[in-house]
């Protein structure tokens, strides 16, 4: 809690944003993460309903700080897009929420049911789930800055990444502790992840947008970024099997991003005005 706070962008020169060109594919990826970050709010409900949130002293404070920080990640990308010349509708959050997929709605209902049936071990599933998604955003923003070469986006990503790493550390440690204490927690997490896990942002954005981002950032199954994420998660007790991310990109035929997507020639005229 002492170290939490909104990502500091007070020194960003927003006027510089449109001076550096982004490919349409890069911009689409920024949009995807604006959406994804902005949806954190909706995930709070599921976490609040767990027994851990009600009983564990460090859990509720973490959720407060986490949701606050994620909101400002979303705002950072929003501000970036607006500075670039993109217009974003005010009601983007509500629109996406009402348009969320059937799968997402089933997930919500299923989670409520499972949290009632397994109140003691269900939080471990939330924790490992959170660890995977946070680690994905951390790697995603590293790739986003490397693949765009946009100097302002780089600073924003670097600062957000520090917070994503903190979030990951919390979820990871929580998952480790819970899995170490309970084989049942490991089993239930395995079942739930296998049944319902999809990459961060899926369910709130279209499948095409998910695939696009995973190709743009990680080259899907042709790159090694997704494997790196899996390898870290595999270090958790009982998670040695975790390969769902690789399976997802294989199953959906998500591969290498075309070279043109990653073109970043640097300074040029403001794109939005063209």
Binding site for Fe ion (CB under 5 A): 37, 70, 73, 134, 164, 167
Numbers of helices and strands, H then E, in the chain: 12, 0
C-alpha distances in Å from residue 248, one per residue of 38, 141, 163, 213, 231: 23, 20, 26, 13, 15
Residues whose CB falls within 8 Å of the CB of residue 17, separated by 6 or more in sequence, listed in order = 80, 83, 84, 150, 152, 153
Cβ-contact 232, 224 below 8 angstroms? no
Of residues 186 and 213, the one with the C-beta less far from Fe ion = 213
Least gap, CB of 182 to Fe ion (angstroms): 25
Of residues 6 and 247, the one with the C-beta less far from Fe ion = 6
- Distance, in Å, from the CA atom of 21 to the CA atom of 97, rounded to the nearest integer, reads 31
Of residues 161 and 249, the one with the C-beta less far from Fe ion = 161
Of residues 25 and 37, the one with the C-beta less far from Fe ion = 37
- Structure-block tokens of residue 90: 């005010």
């Amino acid at each position: 809690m002492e170290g939490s706070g909104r990502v500091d962008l007070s020194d960003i020169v927003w006027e510089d944003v449109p001076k550096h060109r982004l490919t349409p594919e890069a911009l689409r990826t920024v949009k995807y993460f604006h959406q994804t970050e902005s949806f954190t709010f909706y995930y709070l409900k599921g976490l609040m309903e767990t027994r851990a949130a009600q009983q564990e002293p460090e859990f509720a404070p973490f959720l407060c700080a986490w949701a606050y920080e994620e909101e400002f990640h979303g705002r950072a990308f929003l501000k970036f897009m607006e500075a670039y010349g993109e217009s974003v509708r005010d009601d983007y959050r509500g629109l996406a929420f009402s348009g969320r997929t059937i799968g997402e709605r089933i997930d919500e209902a299923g989670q409520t049911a499972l949290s009632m049936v397994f109140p003691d071990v269900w939080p471990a599933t939330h924790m490992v789930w959170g660890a995977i998604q946070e680690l994905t955003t951390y790697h995603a923003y590293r790739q986003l800055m490397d693949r765009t070469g946009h100097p302002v986006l780089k600073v924003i990503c670097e600062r957000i990444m520090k917070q994503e790493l903190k979030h990951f550390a919390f979820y990871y440690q929580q998952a480790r502790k819970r899995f170490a204490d309970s084989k049942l927690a490991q089993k239930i997490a395995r079942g739930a992840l296998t049944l319902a896990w999809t990459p961060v942002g899926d369910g709130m954005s279209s499948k095409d947008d998910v695939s696009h981002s995973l190709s743009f950032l990680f080259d899907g199954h042709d790159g090694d970024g997704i494997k790196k994420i899996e390898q870290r998660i595999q270090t958790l007790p009982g998670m040695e099997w975790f390969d769902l991310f690789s399976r997802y990109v294989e199953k959906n035929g998500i591969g290498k991003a075309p070279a043109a997507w990653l073109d970043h020639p640097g300074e040029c005229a403001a794109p939005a005005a063209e």
